[in-house]
Chain A
Amino acid sequence: MSAPAIAALRALPVELQDRRAPAWWGVVFLIATEASLFAYLLFSYFYLGSIARGAWPPHGPPELRLALPNTFVLLASSGTMWWAESGIRRGSQGRLRAGLLLTIVLGAVFLAVQMIEYHNSDFGPRTDAYGSLFYTVTGFHGAHVAVGLLMLLVVMVRAWLGHFAEGRHLAITNTAWYWHFVDVVWLAVFTSLYLSPRLAG
């Protein structure tokens, strides 16, 4: 390294809070491997669907009556999360706290509606391979929503304790990335399980 570069070393920031932080990289690669997990779950769904002898899905496509609005609930929660994060980027504690609270409420509503859907369903995980897949895929996703909610609860407590500020919000950014990921996965799950059988007609 040349002499000016070494001179530049004299003033280096400690622990960057942006996309150069190791923790941010860590979340990105965690998301990458989790995305593969869902890819293999959906691969299994399409594989069994492609060799099914009878109708697929055997019970007809799952109902959209609750699932479609629920999809919008989850999408909305991504919006509120974005709103919270961009708030703290500008130093607004109010937007951070309100945004986190809204996100948690919307996430909890999503899970509750999914429970109702399970309850109303006329097949179970033991009915057949389709049922096993349906509950495992949506259940895995639900578990990821639940983990995301736990992360949100922790950062919300920290938000109330005043841990975050403009330029000091890495945990918020990382949680936001994870939460957006959980939403995107739902879109993939929703498209595969709910929409694709309808498209295939």
Chain B
Amino acid sequence: MTVTTITPDQRSAGLEERLERIWETAPGLLGVLGTVDHKAIGKRYLATAFLFLILGGLEASAMRLQLAGPERHLLGPEQYNQLFTMHGVTMIFLYASPILSGFSNFLWPLLLGSRDMAFPRLNALSYWVFLFAGLFLYSSFLVGQAPDRGWFAYVPLTEAAYSPGLNMDFYALGLILLTVSTTVGAINFIVTAFTMRAPGMSVNRLPIFMWGTLTTSFAVLFALPALTVACVFLYFDRRFGMHFFDTAAGGHPLLWQHLFWIFGHPWVYIIVLPAMGMVSDYLPVFCRRPLVGYTFVALATVSTGILGFGVWAHHMFATGLPPVSTTFFSAASMVITLPSAVAVFAWIATIWHGRPVVRTPFLFAAGFVVLFVIGGVSGVATAAVPFDWQLTDTYFVVAHLHYVLIGINLFAVIGAFYFWLPKMTGRMLSERLGRWNFWIMFVGFNLAFLPMHVTGLMGMPRRIYTYPAGLGWDTLNLISTIGSFVFAFGILLFLVNVWWSRRHGTLAGPNPWDAPTLEWSIPSPPPPYNFAVIPTVESRHPLWEAELGEGARSKLDVGPTLDQGRETLGTSALDAEPEQVLRMPEDSLWPLLLGLALTVTAYGLLISGWWIAGAGGALSIVFVAGWLWP
């Protein structure tokens, strides 16, 4: 075993230059394709996921135009069904989860005082496979056979007998491919959190965002295989004539629903917990005080993740489950409200006891809290089994889930962009435009989705491409359509702001918000090596220690320099005691190649090109071996 001697010194002359040379990505195409820098990967994740958000938003806009009035003929049923399915698939799989992975990828090593993720190449693989899975799913439009059976893909409607095209094969294989990305990403986050925190960053000093992503990553490990199994069954049924869901041969369609929702409900928490974590971290900065009830919020995050596995059947209340089990799932669905309520009141208390400085991220956080509560109480309404018999599959549920997913994910995310984009680019976004951005999004969103609660109560079912006049739904739908376009304009303003800031934004400097965590102790944008010396942390808010009168105990300028190569510090799992020096990999093309090979395999399976699939599989094995070869 090699033992290295490291110098915990002040930054010496030339240290930064030396580290820069060691850590910078190679110039040119090779660097672009082979980079393993978590910051580059994180930004790619963010940009790609946002692009999918825009695609999903365009799909939604087309649907809103179709539903603006009764009996409109802008879209036929086939087009509409493809659009609403791809809207769901896009937003849930290609936007909501990857955007959070993007923030986590960019921020984790910075929050942790580390120089990269535990497995930088795996990180690159995670991105490439996400990108390719997204392109794979969208390539279905090129052959006019986009998935069209809903993102939940209930059998037997998705079986070959009722869906003979390639549509649902794109769905099943695309999601299995995406599973690879999400799973390796989750493992990477967990191992990073367990082994690479700055010395002194014990678990009770983790930013809440990390609790969110960590909980989410565990949930991914245990929930996502259910989706994989379901999609494998579906593909086998469709392509090889197997009988998993075929009642005539001993199968059952509810098997799909159980597997899908055992995955699906934890997934809801997977795509909101890190976003809640981000708010828990940036809201206090603008309240000028630490988060109230850190421990409560951390525990609430973890318990939500765990309880999330016990509520899946509340999606199945109308399927004729026995009353004992519906009662159980109803109770579980109400209990899971408690940790959310804890978080909400922790945020309110933080604002109440703070001295709020109202900036754009604060507005998004405050708006987020209100939308969260609306989405929460409507969720309780759907957890009450008998009322859910009425509510399920109506526009009430459409309203509910958009309050949850846009309210808790997108509002938190846009706020997080206002907060952290200066760290990524070095320039501030326009505050003035930011306020317009918030208020237009907030008003537009509520205008679009608040009336949908009523439309649902008035009997309008989901997933219908048109509706008759005379049922009283016309006006409300028109309002929703107008609101959705106002909302879309708000998103456009955000893009304008980002574009404007690249040139004209004021320079951010290391810590424009006077924020407390490690990422604000380094330049904006951060250098390739992140930290010139690995910091040592003595509290949850190392940059606020002096102001809070706790004495500047954390050491940000003195620590190991690790400048003998791509190195960072490995620490123990619970107390973050220094344990080892970790060697980090150089740029590598293996992740890209492996991602391509897996995608080739997916296309081979799609078109029953067994030789292609076999070749893709064999290449994947070769690439993995090449990757792991020392």
Contact = CB atoms under 8 A, between A and B. Distances in A.
A34 to B, nearest CB: 8
Given A15-B582, A48-B251, A6 B1 contact: no
Contact of B2 (A14, A36, A41): A14
B617 to A, nearest CB: 10
A118 interface: no
Contacts of B119: 22, 26
Contacts of B188: 26
A53 B187 CA distance: 41
Interface stretch (A82-90, A104-112, A126-134): A126-134
Contacts of B578: 5, 8-9, 12
Interface in B191-238: 191, 194-196, 199-200, 220-226, 228-229, 232-233, 236-237
A167 interface: yes
Contacts of A30: 187
A10 B7 contact: yes
B581 interface: yes
B259 A129 contact: no
B404 to A, nearest CB: 25
A201 interface: no
Nearest to B237: A132
Given A1-B199, A12-B580, A132-B236, A37 B187 contact: no
B628 interface: yes
B536 A1 contact: yes
A198 interface: no
Interface string A19-34: 0101001100110111
> Could you tell me the dominant secondary structure of chain A's interface residues?
helix
Interface in A47-62: 47-48, 51-54, 58
A40 B226 CA distance: 6
A54 B569 CA distance: 60
B190 A40 contact: no
Interface stretch (B240-248, B384-392, B430-438, B443-451): B240-248
Interface string B1-44: 11111111000000000000000000000000000000000000
Nearest to A1: B536
Given A11-B5, A14-B4, A32 B221 contact: yes
A6 B536 contact: yes
B240 A126 contact: yes
A1 B6 contact: no
A25 B190 contact: yes
A33 B580 contact: no
A14 B259 CA distance: 44
> Could you tell me the dominant secondary structure of chain B's interface residues?
mixed
A16 interface: yes
B546 interface: no
Nearest to B221: A33
Nearest to A24: B191
Contacts of B566: none
Contacts of A14: 1-4, 580-581, 583
Count chain B CB atoms within 10 A of each CB in A1, A51, A52 and give the residue with the most.
A1
A13 B3 contact: yes
A150 interface: yes
B187 A29 contact: yes
Given A11-B3, A168-B1, A16 B570 contact: yes
Given A12-B3, A40-B262, A154-B628, A128 B249 contact: yes
Given A12-B578, A22-B195, A33-B221, A44 B190 contact: no
A13 B580 contact: yes
Contact of B570 (A7, A20, A36, A125): A20
Given A33-B222, A33-B224, A20 B579 contact: yes
Contacts of A136: 232-233, 236, 242
B222 A132 contact: no
B532 interface: no
B625 interface: yes
A17 B572 CA distance: 14
B555 to A, nearest CB: 7
Nearest to B242: A132
Interface in A118-145: 125-133, 136
A9 B567 CA distance: 14
Contacts of B551: none
A44 B579 contact: no
Contact of B195 (A13, A17, A25, A132): A25
B250 interface: yes
B594 interface: no
B580 A1 contact: no
B6 A9 contact: yes
A43 B254 CA distance: 13
A43 B261 CA distance: 14
Contact of A129 (B251, B262, B582, B628): B251
B147 interface: no
B252 interface: yes
A10 B190 CA distance: 27
A33 to B, nearest CB: 4
Contacts of A34: 225
18 contacts: A1-B536, A9-B6, A9-B199, A11-B3, A11-B5, A12-B580, A13-B581, A25-B118, A26-B187, A29-B190, A33-B183, A34-B225, A128-B251, A129-B242, A129-B243, A131-B242, A132-B242, A150-B625
In the A-B complex, the 9 residue pairs with the closest CB atoms: A129-B251, A132-B242, A37-B225, A129-B250, A33-B221, A128-B249, A14-B2, A36-B225, A1-B536
